[in-house]
Structure 1
């Protein structure tokens, strides 16, 4: 691998928006690491992209398992010694139509384990690779459901809280990091995928485009922001 080729990693990269993000990053000239909870599914997705002559490899990573994240970070460090772009896309939506205090608490715990703690552990495991070079772009795929104003309306409580916490963490890490390392949260909109369902108005391609501009922003670009379609939206 040529030393000047930038390396990007996308969690949940085997399908939906994640798979489209992998494809578009590779088309922009990145070496892309497709992280997938199930190795076989990840390898299958990576193979399809390799057949299009794109520079994609697969790594097994379950964001709800700290050991799995650590192993992936060690492997990326050993193989490439760098990470320029990290997109935290893996997420779950396990909602049953119940009030927060009436739902099975395991729904909230599992949702937080993936959507919040999963992202936290991925960032803390991979950010040393960025700090080593003083450069990095981290994008957290969030949701408008995570906005403070949305907490005033009932429903989808576990998902809302997980994205609310994710947004808070995005701002906090932005305030703490040094060097040309930027972290932002993005709402991709309602996307037709396994999570969004078939009636959603947006394609994964449109969603990926609305996220990817943050992967290549210059040193003057935003950090600690929340965006939809390239525009800042309220927290």
Structure 2
């Protein structure tokens, strides 16, 4: 199992929901954190909390729908000299539930792809080559289990694109010590999931983060967080490493 103590992780959408849970969990493992949100004030609370756990942390801001802001965020991280070892591409947007899905506005697709696909791809393409050069990296891209719901076409299509990108990229880095995985938090009671969701957000731990700890150089796994609920980290990693990295199992 990977020891993440002293390593640096970038978490997008770290100020609330699944990202917030991930930040606290990783800090408890000794991992230093770069906490992304749309505004620095949004992440001030979680920054204070993780620093209180004894790790280093700082916040960055970017509106992920704005490509220039994403690039500026990455420039800032690079200018600080931070070598990013782990990436959690967690932030996402679910625009609307369109009962009249035949008339889904193109803006749903545009915004969904900007935030849910283009921003994570930009982050991956900037940071993964540096991980390869240094000989270590972990990337966890957050997908969705939504299917057969054209009412959420923009969101679902953007996540399907992220799945394809992740699986294709995995074929190029498999057997290196840079490992890329997909995770699905499940339907949780968050701002995105809504109050009717069956799972409390804390059930994503430890499964949402297990891809950062696998140590068998196998990329392309789909790690559903709810399949690890109630396990300790060691148990979760052991289970994850028994899973085949089979493509397109969503």
Same fold (TM over 0.5): yes
Equivalent pair of 2:131/2:137 in contact (CA under 8 Å): yes
1:234 and 2:249 matched:
yes
* Greater alpha carbon shift after TM alignment, 195-204 vs 44-53: 44-53
Q: CA deviation at 1:123?
A: 1.0
1:81–1:129: 8 Å Cα contact kept in structure 2? no
Q: Mean Cα displacement is larger for which, 44-53 or 204-213?
A: 44-53
Q: Aligned partners of 1:118 and 1:31: how far apart in 2? A: 22
Map 1:209-220 → 2, pairs under 5 A: 209-218=206-215, 220=216
Q: How many residues align?
A: 226
Aligned-residue Cα RMSD (Å) equals 2.1
Q: Deviations over 1:94-151 (max 9, x none)?
A: 1232354411111111111111111111111222331231211100111112xxxx35
Alpha-carbon separation, structure 2, partners of 1:213 and 1:21: 10
Structure 2, unaligned stretches of length 5 or more?
A: 229-239
Give the TM-score, by structure 1 length: 0.87
Q: Quick one: distance in 2 between partners of 1:65 and 1:131? A: 27
Taking the TM superposition and a 5 Å limit, the aligned residue runs for 1:13-24 are 13-24=14-25
1:74 maps to what in 2? 75
Indicate how the Cα distance of structure 1 residues 25 and 75 shifts in structure 2: closer, same or farther if over 3 A, else same.
same
Rounded Cα–Cα distance in structure 2 between residues aligned with 1:114 and 1:23? 23
Q: 2:155 aligns with which of 143, 156, 159?
A: 159
The whole-number CA distance in structure 2 between the counterparts of 1:43 and 1:144 is 31
1:226 Cα deviation from its structure 2 partner: 1.6
2:232: which partner in 1? none
Match of 1:85 in 2: 86
The 5 A counterparts of 1:1-235 are 5-145=6-146, 150-151=147-148, 154-177=150-173, 179-218=176-215, 220-228=216-224, 229=227, 234-235=249-250
Provide the residue aligned with 2:236 in structure 1. Answer: none
C-alpha distance in 2 between matches for 1:193 and 1:94 = 14
CA distance in 1, matches of 2:113, 2:132: 27
Q: How far apart are the structure 1 equivalents of 2:57 and 2:25?
A: 11
DSSP-derived class of the 1:144 partner: coil
TM-score by length of 2: 0.82
